[in-house]
Amino acid sequence: MKKLQHIFLAGLVAFGMMACEKDNYDGPTAGLSGRFIDAETKQLVEQDIIRGTTIELLEHGYANPSPQYLIVKNDGSYANTMLFANTYTVRPVRGNFVSVEAQEVVIKGQTTLDFTVTPYIRFTDVTIKKEGNKILASFKLKQSVINNVKKIGLYAHSDFRVGEPMRLVAAERELNAVSNPNEVYTLEINLTDNSNTLKAGRKYFFRIGALIDVGEAKLNYAPAVGIDL
Amino acid sequence: MIRKYSKLLYFVALIGMMGCAKSLDLSPIDKIRPEDLFGDPEGTKLYMANLYYQLPIEDFTYFRQGFRQNAQDPNNGGFAPAMVTDEAMHTEFGDFVGDGDFHFWEPGYKLVRDVNILSDVIPTLNINAEERKGLIGEAAFIKAFTYFGLVKRYGGVSLIKAAQAYNSDPNALKVPRSTEKETWDYVLALCDTAAANLGVAPGRRANKYTALALKSRAALHAASIAKFGGLAPMSGEAVSQKLVGLEAGDAAGYYAQCIDASKQIMESNAYGLYKPTPANPTEAAENYRQMFADPNVANIEAILIKGYTLPGNSLGHNYDIWYQPAQVANGWPHPGRMNPTLDLVDIYESYTAPGQNAPVITTTDGNITDYNGYAPSKNYIRFNTPNEIFKNKDARLWATMVLPSTQWKNTNIIIQAGYVKPNGEAVIRTKDEIEINGVKYYTYGAPSTSMYSGFDTYGGNNTRTGFSFKKFMNDAKPIVPGWNQSTTDFIEFRYAEVLLNYAEAVAEGGAGDVAVATKALNDIRKRAGHTVDITLTPANVQRERRVELAFENKRYWDLIRRREYHTVFNNRRMHTLLPLQDLRALPETKYIFVRVDVPNANPRTFEPKAYYRYIPGIGSNGLVQNPQY
């Protein structure tokens, strides 16, 4: 009887210890970071933090894997430092530039991958300034594809990551036409009319954007400008 | 030793006998065989009741958690589907369409299986030809309704047309998704089968016209996706395999199917509008209200009613406790959750200006886009009562909402946001009182929380938009302060929707009879007290639809199928109308109104990927996921 008890006890301990065993898999040690660079101007391509360009990652070695998506920062750089080392198919999707091909990337350690892209719309001669009770923006558009420009907009937010999806106030104009490279486009936000949202004495960020008429395209932007009201 | 052998012998003999006798091939006694169940009319009725109960009818128990939210603990805060559209806000929540909301995957396929079991045994049943025809029609209707509920959420889905048998290989049960077009065509074909086999007797079960009404709705949905899909382009594997999306070229065909199905109902003279010629707008408002307070008075208009008979868990619903104004709560702690928006109020036509929106004008300059709040410098128009500003607006506004200082259940429902003191200083959405010449005035129009229904944040029970809710509300009896106590019936298909479907298909598709469609549109308006006809345009049809079908959980799908959601909800704020008593006018009693953003609410944006719900469980069912999930 004693023997039986011993056996039972030994079994129980063994069973209990099964739960304690350390899993021998490493955590994610690799990462992927980089930038979106304008092929022509060599500047970073400005993005949206919400609903902006995303990078689709498909990890190799699995049947029918669910894609992972990386979000791109406002300034056009991105980073994910917690990926598992492996081979991935990497493709930026739903961006504000002429779409680029997917590529296979071996991600091992902190890997850097820059994309050289052609943004749909570039801005030149940008000025955003406060004049009286108005914020005035003027700029020229230079588009790199033949599609129409759907709309242009001036967006305001208290956060520097301002954009079309992240704004307190917007002044937008529908163009629905091919833009004229020589025309100076202007947009304005009347501060009096928006006194409830854009409060005097505080700092707000203003950014101009333009949307090309391409399916799922995101807006292109010029860098945001901070103005004390 | 011998004893031991004989025992073994017995055992061997027993094993041997198992091979010979069929004593284990018994029919199970804990299951009912289909021929027994369906051979008995009562058994069929019972099974049918279960199928109808599972239909994806978006009624009073449909919330973002899914269908039939009336079980033991149905507390979901009263967050109705209307609150993710521009129809209403919740008193407290500011939520929007979440990835996990409004799903129908598992309950959908459960119903598919249940109805497949029925349709598979129909040919074997010992019933007469007429009964068989009826069952074939009804099974097809239920299947069509189920797949309609699936396709409008998920796009193309796995079409399981007969009950599957499990033969120890789960992979054999996996059915890949069909294209969205194949799925819509299957739904419409099932509607045709149903219409061809069903009789015309009215009742609580599907008849020929119910099937045609479903077809009218489904075909219009498919046509709209085909026509407007380009407004929200998508990419990904599901798109390239055509599992989501329809070709623009398909639109005309689907519009034609909608026109045909609607026309059959319209030409049958089996249905009509309830009380189509009211004497005046007041009568029109009361007629319209009654139709929803008790659909059974309007059998001429109601093509299919979902009934609620008994209060209790899984039996009654909770619309009355959640949505009646705070003053009539009768001890229930959480009333007043439905706050119709000013955005919806603006849409209702004025009898003085037919055929256009009649936004609520509060200032002499007529500016309706200024939401910056009260300023003493602005010239507000003064009104004699808190609801005079809505004078001449469509009767259905008065029947759908409880407007400030109107009567509901013999109670003057007070909705007031504040007052302007004689010195021009305003006190808004703050509990306060002031005594002038011996008379006390209260910001919320009355001294205590039980005496008003607006703007106090107390308990989340007061409207924050300036409007409370009336449509579907039971005015006959006091609120029973408990769960699942309401038994108001719900009209799933009504004649007015069929008319609107027809009008829209003609206005958008170009085919069909413009004169008939124009008459359909204006018949509905006439029933609402209008006397001047308007022309058939897509905008007029949409306005009429929003107004006539408000809160019937149609708006969400209108925004989805017409691909308007991401445009209508792009950083969108809803709006409130603040009624203020203007004490500068004393001794006269005067009110002014201020258009503002809904207080304590954030702007909301619709993600285009939400035009389709995600497919649950792709890890095990191996289906292609919808874009961007």
B468-514 tens-digit pLDDT: 999 999 999 999 999 999 999 999 999 999 999 999 999 998 788 99
- The percentage of residues in chain A with a pLDDT greater than 70, rounded to a whole number, is 92
Of B234, B235, B605, the CB nearest to A165: B605
Q: Are residues A181 and A143 in the same domain?
A: yes
B367 inside domain: yes
pLDDT over 90 at B145, yes or no: yes
- φ/ψ bin of B29: left (φ > 0), alpha (ψ from -120 to 50), beta (otherwise): alpha
Residue A145 lies in a domain: yes
Q: Is residue A222 part of a domain?
A: yes
Other CB atoms closer than 10 Å to residue A165's CB: what's the count?
A: 18
**pLDDT one-digit tens code per residue, B223-267:** 999 999 999 999 989 999 999 999 999 999 999 999 999 999 999
Tell me whether residue A20 is in a domain. no
Q: Is residue A71 part of a domain?
A: yes
Q: How far is A102 from chain B (nearest CA, A)?
A: 13
Q: Which residues pair with A139 in a beta bridge?
A: A185
Name residues whose C-beta falls within 8 Å of residue B9's C-beta, 6 or more positions apart in sequence.
Answer: none
User: What digits encode the pLDDT tens for the residues B15-25?
Assistant: 555 555 566 67
Which residue type occupies B99?
A: D
How many domains is chain A partitioned into structurally? 2
Domain span at A213: 121-228
A147 Cα to chain B: minimum distance (Å): 15
B185 at interface of A, judged by CB pairs closer than 8 A? no
Q: What is the mean pLDDT of residues B589-603?
A: 95
Domain identity same for A92 and A127: no
| Domain shared by A185 and A138, yes or no | yes
In this structure, are A100 and A169 located in the same domain?
A: no
Mean pLDDT across A166-185: 94
User: A224 and A125 in one domain?
Assistant: yes
Instruction: Please state whether beta strands A110-112 and A30-38 pair in parallel, antiparallel, or not at all (unpaired).
Output: parallel
Both tokens of B122, joined, read: 């129909």
Scanning B589-608 for CB atoms below 8 A from A yields: 605, 607-608
Which amino acid does the sequence have at A155? Y
Query: Which of A71, A158, A162, A196 has the most B C-beta neighbours within 10 Å, making it the best mutation to test the interface with B?
Result: A196
CA-based torsion, B50, B54, B58, B64: positive or negative: positive
**pLDDT cut 70: percent of chain B above it:** 96
Is the same domain home to A133 and A218? yes
Tell me the chain A residues in contact with residue B570 when contact means C-beta distances shorter than 8 Å: 165
Token duo for residue B521: 């549109």
Q: Is residue B437 part of a domain?
A: yes
Nearest to B552 by CA among B226, B225, B295: B295
Asked if B256 contacts B511 with a C-beta cutoff of 8 angstroms, the reply is yes
Interchain CB contact of B370 with A (< 8 Å): yes
> CA triplet B159, B165, B166: central angle to 5 degrees?
110
Q: Would the pLDDT of A65 be above 90?
A: no
- Mutation pick from B369, B563, B605 vs chain A, by most beta carbons of A within 10 Å, is B605
Pairing of strands B468-469, B401-402: antiparallel
Q: Which chain A residues are Cβ-neighbours of B607 within 8 angstroms?
A: 51
Distance (Å) from the alpha carbon of B150 to chain A's nearest alpha carbon: 22
Count of domains forming chain B: 1
The answer to whether residue B348 sits within a structural domain is: yes
Residues of A in contact with B608 (CB under 8 A): 216
Residue ending a domain, choose from A52, A87, A117 = A117
Q: Do A64 and B234 touch (CB under 8 A)?
A: no
CATH of the domain at A161: 2.60.40.2060
CA B530 to chain centre: 26
Q: Which two tokens stand for residue B270?
A: 């089996």
Contact between A51 and B605 using a beta-carbon 8 Å cutoff:
yes
Residues A140 and A221 in one domain: yes
- The question of ipTM being above 0.90 is answered as no
Q: Within a domain: residue B463?
A: yes
Among chain A, residues having any CB pair with chain B shorter than 8 Å are 50-51, 64, 66, 93-94, 164-165, 167, 170, 193-197, 215-216
**A25-to-A16, A21, A22, A211, B470 alpha-carbon distances in Å:** 21, 12, 9, 45, 60
User: Which residues in chain A have their CB less than 8 angstroms from residue B230's CB?
Assistant: 215
* Alpha carbon of B116: minimum distance to chain A alpha carbons (Å): 30
Instruction: State how far residue B232 is from chain A, nearest Cα, in angstroms.
Output: 7
Work out the pLDDT band at B341, boundaries 50, 70, 90: very high
Phi and psi based region of residue B466 (left: phi greater than 0; alpha: psi -120 to 50; beta: remaining):
left
A208 inside domain: yes
Mean of pLDDT values over A171-185: 94
Confidence grade of residue B383 (pLDDT, cut at 50, 70, 90)? very high
Contact indicator for A44, A76 with CB cutoff of 8 Å = yes
pLDDT tens-place string over residues A181-200: 999 999 999 998 888 889 98
Whether residue A216 and residue B235 make contact (CB cut-off 8 A), yes or no, is yes
- Across the range B286-294, mean pLDDT stands at 97
Q: Is residue B405 part of a domain?
A: yes
Q: Kindly determine whether residue B370 and residue A66, on different chains, have CB atoms separated by under 8 Å.
A: no
Last residue of a domain, one of A74, A89, A117: A117
Mutate which of B99, B368, B372 to test chain A, going by most A C-beta atoms within 10 A?
B372
Whether residues B625 and A216 touch (CB distance < 8 A) is answered with no
B567 assigned to some structural domain: no
pLDDT at B535 (0 to 100): 97
Do residue A51 and residue B618 have CB atoms under 8 angstroms apart? no
Q: B233: distance to nearest CA of chain A, Å?
A: 5
Domain for residue A65, yes or no? yes
DSSP single-letter state for residue B364: T
B376–A contact, CB cutoff 8 A: no
Closest chain A C-alpha to B509 CA, distance in angstroms: 24
pLDDT in tens, A24-37: 777 899 999 999 99
My answer on whether A188 and A136 are in the same domain is yes
CB B545, CB B507: distance < 8 Å: no
Q: Percent of chain B at pLDDT above 90?
A: 87
Do A104 and A180 sit in the same domain of this protein? no
pLDDT band at B28 (very low <50, low <70, confident <90, very high): confident
Query: Which chain A residue's Cα is nearest to B603?
Result: A168
Angle at the Cα of A96 from the Cα atoms of A95 and A99, rounded to 5 degrees:
60
Please say which residue of A76, A101, A117 terminates a domain: A117
Residue A22 maps to a domain: no
Specify if B399 maps to a domain: yes
CB contact under 8 A, A64 and B605: no
Within a 10 A sphere around the Cβ of B609, how many other Cβ atoms? Answer: 19
Any domain includes B416 = yes
Q: How confident is the model at residue B127 (pLDDT cuts 50, 70, 90)?
A: confident
The answer on A112 and A57 residing in a single domain is yes
A76 and A151 fall within a common domain: no
d(CA B177, CA B158): 4
Residue range A68-124, pLDDT digits in tens: 999 999 999 999 999 999 999 999 999 999 999 999 999 999 999 999 999 999 999
Residues A140 and A216 in one domain: yes
Q: Is B371 on the interface with A (CB under 8 A)?
A: yes
Q: Residue A59 sits in a domain of what CATH number?
A: 2.60.40.1120
With respect to residue A16, please indicate whether it lies within any of the assigned structural domains: no
Domain boundaries, position B420: 319-476+572-597
The overall average pLDDT reported for chain B is: 93
Q: Which residues of B touch A215 (CB under 8 A)?
A: 230, 233-235
User: How far is A82 from chain B, CA to nearest CA, in Å?
Assistant: 20
CB–CB contacts below 8 A, A to B = 32
**Residue B254 to residue B509: CA distance in whole angstroms:** 9
Going by C-alpha positions, the residue among B303, B304, B306, B301 that lies closest to residue B319 is: B306
Q: What angle do CA B274, B277, B282 make, to 5 degrees?
A: 90
Residue B587: asked if its preceding bond is cis (omega within 30°), the reply is: yes
